[in-house]
Structure 1
Amino acid sequence: MARIFEPIQIGKMEVKNRIVAAPTVVCYADEDGYVTQRLIDLYEERAKGGAGLVVVEASFIRQDGRMFARQVGVHTNYHTIGLSELADAIHQAGAKAALQVMHGGRQANSRFSGCQPIAPSDRAYSPWMGDRPRVMTTEECTQLADDFANACLRVKEAGFDAVMFHATHGFVIQQFMSPYTNDRKDQYGDRMAFPTEVIQKTRAAVGSDFPIIFRISGDEFLGDQGITLEMNQKEIVPALLKAGVDCLDISVATLESFHWIIQPIYFPRGCIVHLAEGIKEVSNVPVVAVGRINDPRLAEKIVEDGRADMVALCRALLADPAFPRKMLEGREREIRKCIACNYCTDRTFGQRTVKCAVNPDFGNERAYRIQPALKRKKVLVVGGGVGGMEAARVAALRGHQVTLWEKEKQLGGLTHRAASLPRLYVKELANIVEWLPDQLKRLSVQMEMGKEATVQAVEAFQADAVVLATGSKPVPLDLPIAPGPQVITLDEYLAGGVQVGQRVAVIGGAHGSEVAVSLGREGKTVALLESGPPELIASAPYMDMVRRVVLQGYLQEAKVNVLTQVQVKGITKEGVELTHADGRQEVVAGGRALPGGRRRRAPPDGRRHPRGRLLGPRDLTLEASGETLHSLPQNGGRAVSTTPRKRVSS
């Protein structure tokens, strides 16, 4: 048996394996912070998936520390009733249960707390959150430590096996620990005084047998202004160990470096594991590694090589909660891997309930439970992209006879091309199109490649239901273009074999930013043209907030000339003619122009059909276009609604 599946001790608690289901705010509590059935279903499914320790998401210990509209609360005794049901569900599914406690400090949101945020010092103001905090008095610091301890006692009384302190990602304990956010002159100016007091008071409240886990920032990525790995090794970790923590979970960053908190697709797998490895060198308690661990071989190797004692999986378990169980059973090929698109976390920061771009069942474990169809039907899916394959998969799981037509020789649609963008790490977009075809084979879906759908062919097939998942196509440029090879499409560029000149204009800042970076890194002279304001740069629907911020930095590094609020008037052999907002006219590029937009394809009959309706055996009526079909008619009815999902390909 691999070491990752060996038991491990955290204090007095034995965990059956070394995989942690990391805490993830999903916004499924009610508006008062109480546990809901939807939240219980989610964590029960996660525990069934095989993780040894399931950590329930960041829960606020006081109203003035709240960050999210539907965040779990542990601030009153009334909340322990629902939390107890949640802990029981995790236990019954075979895992140990911990709960993460937090207080936002300067990051608390007055919209939901109803209070002005409080913080260790006035320099802790966060423009990103929009609220200026009030500096805590010495007495308030002491009271906050008491309130942490009281909340941890509630965690124990609710039946959890351990508690985790959220002391990273910029929350209040980290604010005391970091030189960036603590310039106090009283006793709490000693940056380890507050966390030490919290641990000691918690230990007195919960007893010696209840494990205390501390999640800390291995590096704030603020240079000498903030916490560094060296500071952790010399100051922070020794103090935490002396205070009595039983386990250290190593994440990263703070609000000013938030793009490291949820590492985007551009960052390599396991990109912060080295920090856990460095802290393990000075720790005598188990150390947990986290961060872009979405591959079973990587997870196993981290533990096998002794870089960390355990691994925490976050987004990987949103994509496939059964990741650990499939690993244990040798079914790694069946794991639906996260594509690091951050659709999930973008919804969190937008105060919306979390969903997953590749796992529509996430958060809908009860509602989307697959039920056998009352009547087996003959289903034709037109289009073998992500949406079409998912529609075929769900229909087959329900017992329908499914055939899929794809006009190309390869399944996956545009996702393969999007994942092949040179000089930019986006290849993990292809994770989902590696998983889906294998699932279709297991379900005996008939896949016909090189098959183009026409009205006559579809009618001749005589399907009971037709799903159109024909994807999108490039948007043609509606402007004067001189004869000749002045313009190439994004599809042509990604397909390769097209010569691009030294000077290139990319038209469309929302969808064109990534290709502009790719060309810039190749050494091309690139102009990125956008008719709208600067906010539209890197704003395509599939780009999350973190990805946008990182990509905008990449544009600067690649020396891309970004021009916004410009109108393209035409393309000649000399270049792209454009007009600035102030009326100035300019010709840029001089090589080739590359438009970046796309629109949905028309169905075979040339008509535009409403999404989400199946009207009859001879009507082409559902255009999936990168979405997911979750149900088909069971009773001969003529219409069924579907739940649309965000595209996972660009």
Structure 2
Amino acid sequence: MTGMLLTPIDLGPITVKNRVVSTAHGAFLDFYRPGIDPAQYVAYQERRARGGCGLIILQAMLVHPTSQTMGQWMWDRDDILPKFRLMADRIHAHGAKVFVQLAHYGAQFRSDGNADILPLWGFSPMLSPSGWEPSHEMTGAEVDEVLEGYERTAAIALEAGLDGVEIHAAHGYLVQQSFSPWGNHRNDQWSDPLRFMFEVMARVRAVAGPERAVGLRISADDFLNWSAGGLGADGLRAVAAEACGTGHLDYLNHSAGARSAHYARSIANYFGEPGRFIPLARGLRAISSGVPVIAVGKILTPAHAEAVLTAGEADLVAMTRAQIADPDLVAKYVAGSADRIRPCVGANTGCVDRMSESLPITCFHNPEVGRELTHAELLPARRSRRVLVVGAGPAGLKATEVAARRGHQVTVVEREAQPGGRLRWVCELGAPATMFESITWILRELDLLGVEVTCGVEVDEQFLRNMAPDVVVLGTGATGSGIDVDSDGSVPVLTEDEAMATKVTGRQVLVVDLLGYQQQAYVAEYLAAGGASVTVATPFPQVGQNVGFTHIRGHLERLYGWGADLRTSTVLTGITDGVAQLRHLYSRKTDLVPVDLVVAGTMAQANTALYEVADSVADEVFLVGDAVAPRTALHAFREGDDAGRRI
């Protein structure tokens, strides 16, 4: 395989074997907590190194106790040194390099989100952009204390054998606050917008010396205009140029944004265009004085990465989520099997959205992620068994793939005309259709494994008895249910599945959302985009109450843009003569809303009718996905994987 992606590059004194980077991201946020077993986070990062990644940057290491938030902890020297040594040894064994990111969040987030409920420290008094909490203006002595924290933290990491450190100066954290008009209104020696960052860089460089690498991660666009105290892409490019001119940096890594709310743009879901920040990388490389630049922003395939490098737009490429979805991305590319790379589909539900809730990482359709200690190796079956999988949705297909890889003889039967289960919905929704690539990837793999998916066949008792399989996996899904409400029958009530197959142009539709998940938001969007006048009623304080933070803003903007009427803290109490009665939970006020159609966004019922007969025929029966309990595709892929491993 030829091309620039697989060529080595020097980051100062450190030679990285290829141009592929896994950037710092929250995966197991308690890794630094004293006493926590590091094995799972080490296994997670080692898996990417084993798959061929050249440079791995570990999740943020805090430099001061006042930055403990989002489930993160301050490290202890005696605890973190052996953790880092283990991490370095495991990653180096695969020829990769490992850095760690150094961070202080400053006035971001909330003080009650940290272990000791310490006040937020910032350069000036301000409201936290994410928690709306006032911050404490650091005294001169406290600034010095934080600077010493950067020195001390870098020294510990490098003593443990890591190859470099990266200073976090993006996402509106403390360093970015120091040089931004919105974050620094001081009148003392720290009013100079670049002084603090330069001091951090100088001290960290002194600790690293000539044998270790030092990098800077900077937002290349803060998404703020001048009136809001922003610098914009031009101003931040000038800051980056000054930083590169100090001689302290061995590479420049970039992101974008200055608020936690900007993550939905900087770590975009499937609505974000691949490579959307390449122009920012190009701009930084033009002023970097030869300092290598890492390009970020949904670079998902080796072909795209090669194009970025060949065009001279960057020197390395961040492929972080791409390597979450498939840690063997580089290895498959080297082997000439790029077409078999499991794609990142931009779902964000397993990675970024869980990070925001301080939960361990996983992946929408790679259930190995976050369980590398137990799931990184797929062991061959002790004996080959005849397996019948009923249902070719996410759970059934994943069970089929895993069982077939292990050497079982698998037959898959699907009632509907096409595979995919309820995930086929997304094919009607524009950009979210990208998620269906998770299904098409499995189907391609099954074809290579010699497994045929039979569609349009209903499995019944006779089918089961005639086939007499050793094992049955029931991925039979769930059936939508109606609404338990007084109604005179004047308005039809549809399930979500029925609504997605209905033409609604010009009709007044009420979506009753009792779950707050993404599927209810998408049903409402589909109907509104199709020309219906949509009202959404939910008992939650927000429509999409349980939707991840990289998705919810987009849902709301699109629904409001289509003129939807969103009623929160509201329940449907009755339907009479084509009028829905909507009662607010707290004001107790009832509104009468004329409707032509009601869609029930309610709990579906698991389809388990085949379980007893399957149990009487087969040695083992597994329920997977919605047949266990109706939830999301992430749950379905995970349970299918588990079943495939247990057979």
**Number of matched residues?**
624
Deviations 1:352-371 (A, max 9, x none): 22222211111222212322
Q: Shift of residue 21 of structure 1?
A: 1.0
- The unaligned stretches of length 5 or more in structure 2 are 627-635
Q: Matched residues in 1 for 2:418 and 2:317: separation? A: 35
Q: State the AA in 2 paired with 1:23.
A: A
Contact 1:326 1:332 in 2 (8 A): yes
Q: Matched residues in 1 for 2:73 and 2:97: separation? A: 22
Q: Matched residues in 1 for 2:522 and 2:235: separation? A: 36
Q: Matched residues in 1 for 2:73 and 2:338: separation? A: 33
Aligned equivalent of 1:512, options 504, 520, 530? 520
Corresponding position of 2:639 = 628
**Structure 1 residues 477 and 78, CA gap change in structure 2 (3 angstroms):** closer
Q: Matched residues in 2 for 1:95 and 1:105: separation? A: 32
Contact 2:390 2:396 in 1 (8 A): yes
Q: State the AA in 1 paired with 2:557.
A: G
Deviations 1:544-602 (A, max 9, x none): 12212332233333321112344435557745454455565544354443333451432
Corresponding position of 2:41 = 39
Corresponding position of 1:376 = 384
Q: Matched residues in 1 for 2:92 and 2:510: separation? A: 58
Corresponding position of 2:208 = 206
Q: State the AA in 1 paired with 2:183.
A: T
Q: Once structures 1 and 2 are overlaid, which stretch shifts more, 286-295 or 238-247? A: 238-247
Contact 1:469 1:624 in 2 (8 A): yes
Corresponding position of 2:160 = 158
2:294 is aligned with 1:293: no
Q: Once structures 1 and 2 are overlaid, which stretch shifts more, 433-442 or 236-245? A: 236-245
CA RMSD of aligned residues (A): 3.0
Contact 2:491 2:596 in 1 (8 A): no
Contact 1:573 1:590 in 2 (8 A): no
Q: Once structures 1 and 2 are overlaid, which stretch shifts more, 289-298 or 318-327? A: 289-298
2:269 is aligned with 1:264: yes
Q: Shift of residue 273 of structure 1?
A: 2.7
2:247 is aligned with 1:247: no
Report SS of the residue matched to 2:554.
Answer: helix
Q: TM-score, normalised by structure 1?
A: 0.88
**Structure 1 residues 430 and 630, CA gap change in structure 2 (3 angstroms):** closer
2:574 is aligned with 1:588: no
Q: Once structures 1 and 2 are overlaid, which stretch shifts more, 520-529 or 306-315? A: 520-529
Q: Matched residues in 2 for 1:357 and 1:29: separation? A: 22
Report SS of the residue matched to 1:436.
Answer: helix
- The unaligned stretches of length 5 or more in structure 1 are 635-639, 643-650
Q: Matched residues in 2 for 1:619 and 1:12: separation? A: 57
Contact 2:214 2:251 in 1 (8 A): yes
Corresponding position of 1:6 = 7
Corresponding position of 1:226 = 230
Q: Shift of residue 94 of structure 1?
A: 1.7
Q: State the AA in 1 paired with 2:19.
A: R
Q: Matched residues in 2 for 1:289 and 1:382: separation? A: 44
Q: Matched residues in 1 for 2:622 and 2:206: separation? A: 65
Contact 2:470 2:620 in 1 (8 A): no
Aligned equivalent of 1:388, options 393, 396, 399? 396
**Structure 1 residues 172 and 457, CA gap change in structure 2 (3 angstroms):** same
Deviations 1:231-253 (A, max 9, x none): 11223432343252121111111
Q: Matched residues in 1 for 2:313 and 2:44: separation? A: 30
Deviations 1:278-325 (A, max 9, x none): 222222211112122333333332223222222112222211111122
Q: Shift of residue 87 of structure 1?
A: 1.0
**Structure 1 residues 72 and 567, CA gap change in structure 2 (3 angstroms):** closer
Q: Percent identity?
A: 28
Deviations 1:195-229 (A, max 9, x none): 10111112222213422111111122222222421
Q: Matched residues in 2 for 1:623 and 1:398: separation? A: 18
Report SS of the residue matched to 1:220.
Answer: coil
Aligned equivalent of 1:528, options 532, 536, 540? 536
Deviations 1:43-102 (A, max 9, x none): 1111111111111111122333223446583x6265222202211111111212111111
Aligned equivalent of 1:348, options 339, 347, 355? 355
Corresponding position of 2:374 = 367
Output aligned runs, 1:435-514, within 5 Å: 435-479=441-485, 486-495=492-501, 498-508=503-513, 510=516, 511-514=519-522
Q: State the AA in 2 paired with 1:525.
A: S
Report SS of the residue matched to 1:212.
Answer: strand
Contact 1:455 1:604 in 2 (8 A): no
Q: Matched residues in 1 for 2:568 and 2:34: separation? A: 43
Corresponding position of 2:552 = 548
